[in-house]
């Protein structure tokens, strides 16, 4: 079956620090991969996605590359801001199935 394993949180960084949140997956078939973000008091929203191997998704300074050889989709940002404080979810979807989410990683960025 499909599964997603995320780096455990919480993660606390200072503003302008480099961010990596690890995500690895197990899937049957050829999944699409996603990062969703949940800001305090809100629902999840799509941050970025990639639908095939070697694709790079990017948005708001965040990037993630679909690595089939390592079954990974790590989220990175070169310089985080206080406003990036949120919970980040890695997810995957395969044809005909619903999304499988990881456990979520809480990020706090201090000024």
Partner 1 sequence: DAGVIQSPRHEVTEMGQEVTLRCKPISGHDYLFWYRQTMMRGLELLIYFNNNVPIDDSGMPEDRFSAKMPNASFSTLKIQPSEPRDSAVYFCASSWGSGGGGDTQYFGPGTRLTVL
Please state the φ and ψ torsions of residue 65, each to the nearest 5 degrees: -115, 135
What the block records as the tokens of 12 is: 């606390």
Length in residues, the chain: 111
- Whether 64 and 74 have beta carbons less than 8 Å apart is answered as yes
Q: How far is the CB of 108 from partner 1 (least distance, A)?
A: 16
- Whether 92 and 4 have beta carbons less than 8 Å apart is answered as yes
43 binds partner 1 (CB under 8 A): yes
| Closest to partner 1 by CB, 49 or 74 | 49
Q: How far is the CB of 23 from partner 1 (least distance, A)?
A: 15
Q: How far is the CB of 55 from partner 1 (least distance, A)?
A: 10
Number of residues counted as binding partner 1 (CB under 8 A): 24
- Whether 15 and 111 have beta carbons less than 8 Å apart is answered as yes
**Interface with partner 1 by CB under 8 A: which range of 17-25, 67-75, 78-86, 87-95?**
87-95
């Amino acid at each position: 079956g499909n599964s997603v394993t995320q780096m455990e949180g919480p993660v606390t960084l200072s503003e302008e620090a480099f961010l990596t949140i690890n995500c690895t997956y197990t899937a049957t078939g050829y999944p699409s991969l996603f990062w969703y973000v949940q800001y305090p008091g809100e629902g999840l929203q799509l941050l970025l996605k990639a639908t095939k191997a070697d694709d790079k998704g990017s948005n708001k300074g965040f990037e993630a590359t679909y690595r089939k050889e390592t079954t990974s989709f790590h989220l990175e940002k070169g310089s985080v801001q206080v406003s990036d404080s949120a919970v980040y979810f890695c997810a995957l979807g395969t044809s005909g199935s619903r999304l499988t989410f990881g456990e979520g990683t809480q990020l706090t960025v201090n000024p």
